[in-house]
Amino acid sequence: MPPLKRFAKPLSVRSLPRGFLGAGVTCGLKPSGKPDLALFVSDRIAAAAAVTTQNLFAAPPIHVTRDHLKSGRAQAIIINSGSANAATGRQGLIDARQMCALVSAALDIRSADVLVNSTGVIGQRLPMDRLAAGIDDAVSNLCSAGLNRAGEAMMTTDRHPKRTARRWTQGRREVRLATFAKGVGMIHPDMATMISVALTDAAVSAPLLRRALREAVDQTYNCLTVDGDTSTNDMVVLLANGASGAPRIERITSEGYRRLVRALTESFEEMVLSIASDGEGASRVAVIRVRGARTVADARKLARAVGRSSLFKTAIHGADPNWGRITMALGNAGVDIDPSQVSISVAKTPLLRRGQPVRHDRAQTSQAMRKDQVPVVISLGLGRAEATCWSSSLTEEYVRFNSAYTT
């Protein structure tokens, strides 16, 4: 789909945040022989924040990363693809900690300043001998341009890399943000198989960084659904190393904080679109906007209920303007709404107005739904709150792919 080509283009070195290096190498975890080990490194201690999966089977590396993030600082992120190191018990924890220790020794930094994650098949142990060699290889290949390769090494079934960059001015200094993501299936974040790494050379206190990350994630990644399944390894991590020389952001009321949140939100929204477009077997993306809700929480809950409905997703794939799929999902969302006030349009065609069906040309509407992105607007007439959810269509290819994922 067209959006993927835009996000697949490597980020130029001039757009990358200062003080960060990266590497993506092959260490034999993937049968395909493609890069499978990503390393992101700051040349100095950085403020760090993350949001992680709420799945109760959270993988061992998620537990290690949560523990290391208690300090609010980090200097490196190591991520392998090909194996999720999930449901691997005590040995999985030992292996995740060992990955941090290997990076620590190779970079001469504290093990507690290394964050770790894995992605791939659940229930498989990591081949630590291969990872040890791969970490040495990654450290020897660190460079600014290597951040692009690190983003590629995180991929599993992704068709294309997902990355974007932002710049803004803070105290007459240019501040940069680069965001990398992977994921096409098992995606229905609740934080948040999906992993995203965001790096900025802004100077931010750890408490504000955590707040900014949560604010941006709630509007973007947590409003994304590909198949309704929350992964064991979902993580969005953000490092801010201050290498730009811009004034430090200390207050939530400051213009610097607002610009940071805006940059994060815009970048994450682009990543959400890229992930939804690349959803396993996806033929198109539905952009679901709920307006006129009493609260933002209600609007998000309703939008996500529609977005995760298998019947709605198959209708989007079939370009079927069956608005009954939408009302069904709204009614099952657990939010108090007034059906007599609900209006729905799909692909800019009004289908329901204040609870009453609207006559329309089904053939024309179906044709309008065959574009890469299908806008769905739901108006509730209850208040002023609104929210957006991004959802992939559900196709025969998704079923074929996932029915034979490990065989």
Q: Give the long-range contacts of residues 340-345, CB within 8 A, separation 24 or more.
A: 341/380, 341/381, 341/382, 342/378, 342/379, 342/380, 342/381, 343/378, 343/379, 343/381, 344/376, 344/377, 344/378, 344/379, 345/375, 345/376, 345/377
* CB-based contact 187:304 (threshold 8 Å): no
Distance CA 213, CA 242 (A): 16
Give the catalytic positions in this structure: 193
For tokens 């992930």, the residue is 275
Side by side, the strands of the sheet bearing 343-346 are 224-225, 385-392, 285-293, 373-379, 343-346, 349-353, 356-357
Strands 385-392 and 285-293: antiparallel
> By the 8 A CB rule, do 199 and 178 touch?
yes
Measure the CA–CA gap between 141 and 143, rounded to whole angstroms. 6
Strand pairing report for 349-353 and 162-170: unpaired
Cα separation, 325 vs 305, whole angstroms? 11
| Distance in angstroms (rounded) separating the CA atoms of residues 204 and 76 | 17
* Distance of alpha carbon 307 from alpha carbon 39, whole angstroms: 34
Q: What is the DSSP letter of 122?
A: T
β-strand 37-52 against 20-25: which pairing, if any? Answer: antiparallel
Task: Return phi, psi of residue 301, to 5°.
Answer: -60, -40
Interatomic CA distance for residues 227 and 216, integer angstroms: 22
Count of beta carbons in the 10 Å neighbourhood of residue 389: 26
Rounded Cα gap, residues 366 and 268, in angstroms: 30
* Lookup: tokens for 36: 């499978």
